[in-house]
Structure 1
Amino acid sequence: MSVDLLVQKIKEKGNPSVAGLDPKIEYVPEYIRKKAYAEYGQNLKGATEAIWEFNKGLIDALYDVVPAVKPQSAFYEMYGLCGEEVMHRTISYAKEKGLYIILDVKRNDIGSTAEAYSKAYLGKVDIDGVECEPCPVDCVTVNPYLGTDGIQPFVNDCKTFDKAIFALVKTSNPSSGELQDLLVGDEHIYEKVAQCVNKWNEETIGKSGYGAVGAVVGATYPEQAKVLRKLMPKSYFLVPGYGAQGGGAEGVKPCFNEDGLGAIVNSSRGIMCAYKKGDWKEEQFAEAARAEAIRMKNDLTSVL
């Protein structure tokens, strides 16, 4: 299963972290922006070509440190077709460098629409008898709040095409509790969702002991993470909220199992914009990102 590949890469790098590639044009060093604008114009094309150079530099600096990258599709979609093309270019380049690719799309619907979403990101599309893969990623994030009939198409494609998903369970944002913390009888909604994830995951367990249906569990809620770890012992956790959102190594520790596995922790702005802190020059953005990724690795492994 795809999750076995993720576990393998985490073990190889000794690093349970993923670098989020969520670029805004203002994150890109000025000298890269100016060069792209001069060649393509100060427009969507110029912005996305600048982002491409930024992403490529980050990947070159990080691929031997982190096991995975996580592009967030919204940060590419906001630049239109040019942005989506650069997202796919980024995915292909990261794949060439041997990185595990988690595409953060948080998609879902029901019936044939859910099937179409799953084909778009995990499966293949039949073109008059010829099967084509639209998006060569290893894993996507999904929204489970439409229930089993919205998730099953993704689970089916995980099994067929050796892919994985992370379902939203307890997210890192401050207002997540407005819905996720509501009680249904004696249990919170996030606990009910966790039970569904555990059920969906049962039929996908790989050689690593983990299944293809993982859970998004925020670093900002360590007490809830303890509960969720027990409810989903064989699901991998994708953990946002480290760094820029205030989560630290001690906060993410409950997301891991006793084997030191079971979770992969995301940092986006903390790594991408590391050059904006300290004495780094903007031309050193890649070196700064690498240094931050190594610092994060050491921080996380110190508590496992």
Structure 2
Amino acid sequence: MTSQPSRRGEPEDPDPLPIAVVDNHTHLDISREGEPAGVGDLGPALRAAAAVGVDRVVQIGCDPAGNEFAVAAAEEYGSVLAGVALHPNEVPGLVAAGRFDAAMDRVSELAVHPRVRVVGETGLDFFRTPPEGHAAQEESFRRHVDLAKRTGRVLQIHDRDSHDDVLRVLADEGAPERTVMHCFSGDLEMARECVRRGYHLSFSGTVTFKSAKGLRDALAVTPPELLLVETDAPYLTPHPWRGASNSPRLVPLTVRAMAAVLGLAVPTLCQALSENSERLYGPW
């Protein structure tokens, strides 16, 4: 099938995948251009993704408004499941404003919704948050780990410039049986440690970047049964559209790049990605 240019000068649609896969982590409420999307606006993006073989997505909340959006989207669309959490970069501000406990209580309420299958994204971010906010992030992370275990939800982890500390907290608390390193950004040795612990590694468009040899090395040692793929849309758009706004319909570019690194046929990898997602999250 020949790729067709999409409207308004956006990236072209990639060739469809032979077996449908899941976008394990996306933010369809966030826009890099124009107004944020409403729940009722998601239909075109979901249909465009399904047309190229991305027929299910996990919509991730990061703050109180985003969590409500994720649940509403999962209620509205059968192809959407939700994740709820307080992103580590949001936590210090919520603590300073005296709003963290109430926000966390609401996350706990939403986490038991039948369309919510993920607690996350939670974790640590030492890139955007200065050292004085790290203690608040860690306490929040520990509470999210506990919530995931109490509710039987998948834990999705945000880890930026904090690899050792993320692994330390997970060892301290005891990671849930189903733990996902969202947008994996570690090196070869971290990948091996995560695999040893049985964590799933989710790779985004960054694995397609020419400068990302370390990520490709990490991917190469990850068994197919622990792999996931994601957009983290609207960010981290895969090559050759890096810098444009990302969306689930571009997942096939990342899948094909992953298959090349792993030396797997694309249908074989697609089957593994789909089965891994269903095993983690259950049926959509």
TM-score (structure 2 length as normaliser): 0.48
TM-score, L = length of structure 1: 0.45
**Whose radius of gyration is greater, 1 or 2?**
1
